[in-house]
């Protein structure tokens, strides 16, 4: 593996990415090291950066190179043929990527699914369902491995043996959040973990907004599932829009504060999404043009044929459950004549995937 300018200057002090990018596009590392102090100054390098470059003893770089020798570990610089082409198009692409897993996923069509870290049960299930459906159609689900919607999106893809990429806001030697340790290991095995931060770099608050540009930059579109008005996922949506990518948002209850960010996006021009078909309608031409990928749009008749037929008593109870949380007290009142069988019926409906339960009650899922 050849050491690149991008790799060495990543660790050089006082060395802005714009300078690194320009030098990397015009010189090899050997050519750059052969220049004099004054020639390097003329090309924009600071004195500390020049001293670092000229010492030609870069322990951090050597450490990274050893890490990259491990099975399925990768270092991908901006000039590498493995660098994802869509990511090159954004205004401030990462110049060095660290990866673990299946790097070929970088060349598959991706859709980002992001949202709040504190979703409702319905929001979590919606993210999981959309991710599963899109993954079945050949799309790679890209997200940030955060708690809430991000995690549910990765899980939805893995549940159907689909493809998923997690963009981390820390080095790949760390498990963050710790509750997603198992999920991170699954993605490492069946998908791809990706970060612009060196493997030992610990999570920092400033890193997470920064990595959002990679999530949107890798993807043909970004779908937001539940987001408060100050959610970090709105940063991802804004970046996607600035990068010229489609932004989609799923509306929610007007009483749900975690839906207000999605409503704001829709007011600003994001496409309102109710079904997977709404997404496919928008991205199909792009996928056919850039990836030669044809996707199947499920007709409503096919969806109905696939649905499990419910017994009459279960259907009656299901019709009493709202698409926003319905408390048990309200259900007991609405289903007064079926009180004895209510609890077992609710369990059957949840197991069949028609509803989800939470502390606030029971929520009906969209068909």
| CB neighbour class for 210 (10 Å; exposed up to 12, middle 13-18, buried from 19) | middle
Q: What is the pLDDT along the chain (367 residues), one digit of tens a residue?
A: 789 999 999 999 999 999 999 999 999 999 999 999 999 999 999 999 999 999 988 999 999 999 999 999 999 999 999 999 999 999 999 999 999 999 999 999 999 999 999 999 889 999 999 999 999 999 999 999 999 999 999 999 999 999 999 999 999 999 999 999 999 999 999 999 999 999 999 999 999 999 999 999 999 999 999 999 988 999 999 999 999 999 999 999 898 999 999 999 999 999 999 999 999 999 988 887 777 665 554 434 344 434 445 678 888 899 899 888 899 989 998 988 787 788 888 988 887 888 988 888 899 887 6
Tell whether 53 and 177 lie within a shared domain. Answer: no
Last residue of a domain, one of 249, 276, 298: 298
Last residue of a domain, one of 281, 298, 315: 298
Residues 6+ apart with CB under 8 A from 99: 73, 74, 75, 76, 106, 172, 192, 193, 194, 195
Strand spans (E) along the chain: 73-77, 96-101, 110-115, 140-143, 164-167, 192-195, 221-225, 246-250, 271-272, 355-358, 361-364
Q: Is residue 88 part of a domain?
A: no
Tell whether 32 and 110 lie within a shared domain. Answer: no
Tell whether 149 and 243 lie within a shared domain. Answer: yes
Give the CATH number of the domain where residue 333 resides.
Answer: 1.10.10.10
Q: Is residue 87 part of a domain?
A: no
Look at the alpha carbons of 104, 210, 170, 139 in this order and tell me if their dihedral is positive or negative: negative
Grouping H, G, I as helix, E, B as strand and the rest as coil, residue 341 is helix
Tell whether 119 and 193 lie within a shared domain. Answer: yes
Q: How many residues does the chain have?
A: 367
Q: Is residue 83 part of a domain?
A: no
Q: How many domains does the chain have?
A: 3
Q: Is residue 85 part of a domain?
A: no
Tell whether 289 and 339 lie within a shared domain. Answer: no
Tell whether 292 and 259 lie within a shared domain. Answer: yes
Task: Classify residue 100 by its DSSP letter.
Answer: E
Tell whether 180 and 261 lie within a shared domain. Answer: yes
In Å, the largest CA–CA distance within the chain is 89
Domain residues for the domain of 39 are 1-58
Tell whether 181 and 46 lie within a shared domain. Answer: no
pTM score, whole prediction? 0.83
């Amino acid at each position: 593996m050849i050491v690149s300018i991008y790799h060495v200057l990543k660790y050089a002090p006082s060395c802005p990415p714009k300078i690194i990018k320009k030098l990397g596009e015009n010189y090899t590392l050997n050519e750059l090291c052969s220049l004099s102090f004054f020639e390097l100054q003329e090309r924009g390098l600071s004195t500390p950066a020049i001293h670092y470059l000229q010492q030609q003893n870069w322990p951090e770089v050597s450490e990274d190179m050893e890490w990259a020798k491990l099975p399925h570990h990768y270092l991908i610089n901006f000039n590498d043929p493995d660098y994802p082409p869509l990511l090159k198009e954004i205004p401030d692409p990462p110049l060095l990527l660290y990866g673990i897993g299946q790097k070929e996923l970088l060349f598959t069509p991706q859709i980002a699914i992001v949202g709040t870290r504190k979703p409702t049960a319905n929001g979590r299930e919606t993210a999981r369902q959309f991710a599963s459906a899109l993954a079945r159609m050949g799309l790679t689900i890209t997200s940030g491995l955060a708690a809430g919607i991000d995690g549910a999106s990765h899980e939805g893809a893995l549940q159907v043996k689909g493809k998923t990429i997690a963009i981390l806001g820390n080095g790949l030697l760390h498990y963050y959040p710790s509750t997603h340790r198992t999920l991170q290991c699954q993605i490492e095995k069946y998908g791809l973990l990706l970060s612009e931060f060196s493997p030992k770099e610990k999570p920092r608050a400033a890193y997470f907004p920064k990595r959002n540009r990679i999530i949107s930059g890798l993807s043909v579109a970004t779908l937001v599932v539940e987001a408060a008005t100050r959610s970090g996922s709105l940063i991802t949506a804004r970046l996607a829009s600035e990068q010229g990518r489609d932004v989609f948002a799923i509306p929610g209850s007007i009483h749900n504060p975690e839906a207000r960010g999605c409503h704001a996006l829709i007011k600003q021009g994001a496409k309102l999404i109710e079904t997977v078909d709404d997404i496919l309608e928008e991205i199909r031409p792009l996928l056919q043009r850039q990836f030669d990928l044809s996707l199947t749009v499920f007709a409503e008749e096919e969806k109905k044929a696939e649905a499990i037929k419910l017994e009459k008593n279960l259907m009656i109870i299901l019709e009493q459950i709202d698409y926003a949380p319905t408390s048990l007290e309200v259900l007991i009142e609405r289903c007064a004549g079926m009180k004895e069988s209510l609890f077992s019926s609710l369990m059957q409906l949840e197991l069949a995937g028609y509803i989800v339960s939470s502390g606030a009650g029971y929520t009906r899922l969209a068909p």
